A and B are shown apart, each in its own frame.
Chain A
Amino acid sequence: EIVMTQSPATLSVSPGETATLSCRASLSASSNLAWYQQKPGQAPRLLIFAASTRATGIPARFSGSGSGTEFTLTISSLQSEDFAVYYCQQYNNWPITFGQGTRLEIK
């Protein structure tokens, strides 16, 4: 099983600044990595798939990078609606596995 580890657990950033979230895989996930955003009381929303491809309707301020075991989600010019919990997920191997999440909070 590929274990996904996200860091930090909580990230405090001011609106307008840039947030950098990390996700590490215990084995190579190639580029088969997705990022999701989840707000309280809502279902997750797909942001990024294939490590760096934005999903339909996702603003350009969200970008993903990395391959193998190291991945990054960068959110530039943070807006109030971006403060949420973010999860990475690998789908390179069964079982599919998620990271534990990073909570992005307003500083």
Chain B
Amino acid sequence: SQTIHQWPATLVQPVGSPLSLECTVEGTSNPNLYWYRQAAGRGLQLLFYSVGIGQISSEVPQNLSASRPQDRQFILSSKKLLLSDSGFYLCASQTTTGRDTQYFGPGTRLTVL
């Protein structure tokens, strides 16, 4: 089965600072990878997805970007954080077999002050 690692687990950053969140996957090859954000009191919002190395699709225009430098590595970045970037960020992985289950990592809690 798949195991998804995310770090850091928690992060407190000032407004205007850069951001890098990392997600790595074990137990599968060539997965579809996803970044979600969960803001306080709101549901899950899909931010980015990737079907392969270097292939990134954005769901929502925003202050964030994503990259996939290796098959099982997915990175979420920002050059300058906004207060509204605060939230709980979740990485998910899915084997590329049609509508298979998405498995989630433990998440990163980001607080922007």
**Same complex:** no
Q: Chain A: residues with CB nearer than 8 A to chain B?
A: none
